[in-house]
Amino acid sequence: MSDRTIVGFIGTGVMGSSMAGHLLAGENEVHVYNRTKSKAEKLIQAGAVWENSPSELASKCSIIFTIVGYPKDVEDVYLGKNGLIASAAKGSLLVDMTTSSPKLAERIWEEARSKGISVLDAPVTGGDKGAREAKLTILVGGEKEDFERALPYFRLMGTNIRHMGKAGCGQYTKLANQITIAGTMTGMCEGLAFAKGCGLDQKEVLEAISGGAAGSWSLTNYGPRILNGDFDPGFFVKHYIKDMKLAEESADEIGLDMPALSLTRELYEEISEGGLDEAGTQSLYCLYDPEEE
């Protein structure tokens, strides 16, 4: 982007730090806030401006991106007494990239609209690798003109950028993504554990099946991590459990039973209770091969 724009970014964790970094590299003046300041230090050293609260950040930025942990965090940041909607100027654009509740996204949009503020729900998928490489998929709900306004910034963070419809539709699409991943994650872990149990070379099996009908993003990106014993988070187990619960809640609202999703959530809750809550989602493999824990 040629013109330097003041942009706010809240949530500089595993993915947010890379995403904010791309906005900074895009010749924007970026102001950042995170509950734990140390997680923003690299951005500050790179030129980002630290703000002490969401309200302070909102007073200086006309477009603000957020990616926090849970729907409760989203609610606090947007609808709290000193939250973004209470603090942002009329005409501001607020973009939540957290995977959150579609109903909450709709409520935030309604509240913001009553104050002349625009809001998009724009959850992402692609994990830490997609965030680092600016290759995220960004799924957007909200008004088309607001999407167009945010698009130049989205292009600094992702490659597959889709306007999915009205407020909440970005979140519904992300939940559909998480439902689909449930089957690929369990299948990948069980397939690799089966290969090991049969005495096969897991690396050769991975290479053999990745290019066929079993191929998937999860297999290509998480399979090698599993074989290397790398269970560091590209996406936290605790956050995936949150996403699956949100998907189940939305499915209940439309009367849809999803037994595969529920079983996957139960498996992830088992490893979470076993101490892997902050491990990467690929650590589901440890349920089948405890030697890898």
| 288 touches 243 (CB < 8 A) | no
Give the integer Cα–Cα distance in Å for 144 and 80: 27
**Backbone dihedral angles phi then psi of residue 82, each to the nearest 5 degrees:** -110, 30
**Residues 109, 266: Cα–Cα separation, whole Å:** 32
Q: Are strands 63-66 and 49-50 parallel, antiparallel or unpaired?
A: unpaired
Helix residue ranges per DSSP H, 35-168: 41-45, 54-58, 71-79, 84-87, 102-113, 127-132, 144-157
Q: Which of 60, 81, 174, 203 is catalytic?
A: 174
In sign, the C-alpha dihedral spanning 15, 161, 72, 255 is negative
The span from the CA of 19 to the CA of 159, in Å, is 13
Bridge partners of residue 120, in order along the sequence: 95
Question: How far is the CA of 57 from the CAs of 21, 77, 197, in angstroms?
Answer: 17, 11, 54
174 is known as an active-site residue: yes
Maximum CA extent, the chain? 64
CB 180 within 8 Å of CB 261:
no
Give the catalytic positions in this structure.
174
